[in-house]
């Protein structure tokens, strides 16, 4: 087993690393693309003498290559551990805390993480979790939530599905100045290593569902944890637990994820530009009550979104021109919005879209849409969903890399159908786009302004 260590400062650009790190030509054949190593066991030259591999659960060439790449792409990372799923990553990290530990978690957390914390870790480890609104809580409130036995602070930013934006630097400073000194973990799935670099902002661990943006093609289930140089001991513990539990990905999945990650920068730029264009349209639509996209200049946490940009994303955003004229900046490909109409308007919208596929998950090249209250977050108790603002009017969009004008037109026709069917008076917004030719020109003008 070869740890994915990055000892030197890599000054190459993001896409250069994505294409080349861990992708050296095969030594046996000089094949440019690394072969898939399916062997479960490896020949030893003498007892205990081998080339770094003994048994595939403990290590595999494809997994090592992917882990090298992930450690390189996540700014501030030195070691990456690839898991069989995002959920396996979550469970292994929480198991590493030991029995009777306490966790502070952002309140608006992914439904699967909430389920594991409250129904699995509590029953099996005696782990207790305090859910806190880390976006709005004061410094004293956050500090008061940390106990002597608090081992971990769990952050998603943006959160799923209401896209709350957490000040990672602020939370890290509070945590690390507390006597308990809990680890700060950030689930960076929604932004990927391209848009945000939580380790640079002060986090101790970053995790991803590689299923989403890193792989990017909706054909792999995987997860990963990336750690900075000062967390070597934790990395060794996680590797031991992973091997003991068996939460390892297949060589084929590692190969696919590495292939997908090669185009991460190209895809994330397009996801972000399309999402900004669509968010601006939704902001003007009379069929929409609220648009949640932190990249919009009108978003209350817009300044924090800009602060949280990774160094490479900030460099890209600066090439796009005046953010005031563009209405904001690209900031990932996820949008949530609240639709007008009755309680079934969201469901009608989702059955009427043609390019946005009604499906769970996110981060693929294709656009997806879902109703969190009845899909990804259905396992959260109704009262808690209501408190979090996850109601029947909340629609989550994963904006793909299709042409932005086509996506906007698809959303427009579905909104008109869904809200008109509710037979309610639709308010006319002063900034609402007009239909037909003028609307088409507005879309093309916006798309042109955002073009890379």
Helix (H, G, I), strand (E, B) or coil at 242: helix
CA atoms of 389 and 383, how far apart (whole Å): 10
Secondary structure (DSSP) of 405-435: HHHHHHHHHHHHHHHHTTT-PPPPPTTPPPS
Tokens of 250: 């297949």
Helix (H, G, I), strand (E, B) or coil at 321: coil
| 64 counts as catalytic | no
Q: In the sheet where 205-209 sits, what is the strand order?
A: 79-83, 223-227, 205-209, 183-187, 150-156, 102-106, 128-132
| 204 counts as catalytic | no
| 110 counts as catalytic | yes
Q: According to DSSP H, which parts of 262-361 are helical?
A: 264-284, 302-307, 311-317, 323-326, 345-352
* Phi, psi angle pair for 205, to nearest 5°: -145, 140
| Listed residue (294, 68, 93) closest to 207, CA to CA | 93
394-398 and 368-370: which strand pairing? Answer: antiparallel
Residue in 10, 57, 406, 420 annotated catalytic: 57
Secondary structure (DSSP) of 349-405: HHHH-SSSEE-S---SSS-EEE-GGGTTTTTS-HHHHHHHT--TTEEEEE--SS-HH
Residue in 53, 110, 116, 293 annotated catalytic: 110
Q: According to DSSP H, which parts of 31-109 are helical?
A: 61-73, 86-95
| 57 counts as catalytic | yes
Report helix, strand and coil shares of the chain as percent, to nearest 5: 40, 15, 45
| Residue 138 vs residues 9, 133, 135, 255: alpha-carbon distances, Å | 37, 9, 9, 44
| Listed residue (238, 207, 205) closest to 223, CA to CA | 207
Place of tokens 């995002």: 86
CA atoms of 86 and 375, how far apart (whole Å): 18
- Catalytic residues, which ones? 57, 110, 187, 212
């Amino acid at each position: 087993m070869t740890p994915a260590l990055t000892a030197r400062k890599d000054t190459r650009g993001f896409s250069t690393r994505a294409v080349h790190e861990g992708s050296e030509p095969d030594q046996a054949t000089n094949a440019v693309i690394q072969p898939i190593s399916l062997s479960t066991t490896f020949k030893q030259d003498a007892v205990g003498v081998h080339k770094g591999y003994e048994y595939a659960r403990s290590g595999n060439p494809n997994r090592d290559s992917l882990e090298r790449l992930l450690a390189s792409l996540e700014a501030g990372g030195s070691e990456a551990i690839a898991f069989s799923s995002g959920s396996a990553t979550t469970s292994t990290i929480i198991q590493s805390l030991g029995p009777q530990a306490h966790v502070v978690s952002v309140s608006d957390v992914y439904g699967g993480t909430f389920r594991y914390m409250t129904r699995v870790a509590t029953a099996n480890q005696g782990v207790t979790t305090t859910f806190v609104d880390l976006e709005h809580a004061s410094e004293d409130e956050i500090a008061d939530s940390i106990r002597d036995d608090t081992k971990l602070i769990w952050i998603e930013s943006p959160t799923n599905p209401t896209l709350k934006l957490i000040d990672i630097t602020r939370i890290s400073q509070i945590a690390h100045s507390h006597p308990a000194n809990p680890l700060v973990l950030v689930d960076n799935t929604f932004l990927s290593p391209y848009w945000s670099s939580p380790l640079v902002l002060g986090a101790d661990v970053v995790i991803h569902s590689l299923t989403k943006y890193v792989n990017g093609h909706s054909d792999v289930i995987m997860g990963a944890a990336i750690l900075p140089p000062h967390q070597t001991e934790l990395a060794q513990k996680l590797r031991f637990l992973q091997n003991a539990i068996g939460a390892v990905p297949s060589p084929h999945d590692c190969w696919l994820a590495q292939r997908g990650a090669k185009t991460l920068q190209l895809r994330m730029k397009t996801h972000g530009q399309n999402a900004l264009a669509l968010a601006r349209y939704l902001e003007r639509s009379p069929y929409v009550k609220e648009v949640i996209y932190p990249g919009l200049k009108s978003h209350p946490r817009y300044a924090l979104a800009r602060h949280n940009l990774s160094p490479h994303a900030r460099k890209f955003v600066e090439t796009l021109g005046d953010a005031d004229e563009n209405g904001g900046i690209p900031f990932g490909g996820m949008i949530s919005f609240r639709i007008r109409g009755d309680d079934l308007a969201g469901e009608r919208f989702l059955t009427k879209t043609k390019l946005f596929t009604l499906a769970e998950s996110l981060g693929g090249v294709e656009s997806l849409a879902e109703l969190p209250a009845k899909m990804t977050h259905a396992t959260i108790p109704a009262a808690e969903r209501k408190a979090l603002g996850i109601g029947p009017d909340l629609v989550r969009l994963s904006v793909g890399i299709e042409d932005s004008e086509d996506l906007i037109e698809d959303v427009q026709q579905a909104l008109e159908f869904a809200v008109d069917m509710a037979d309610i008076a639709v308010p006319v917004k002063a900034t609402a786009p007009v239909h037909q030719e003028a609307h088409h020109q507005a879309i093309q003008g916006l798309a042109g302004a955002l073009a890379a």
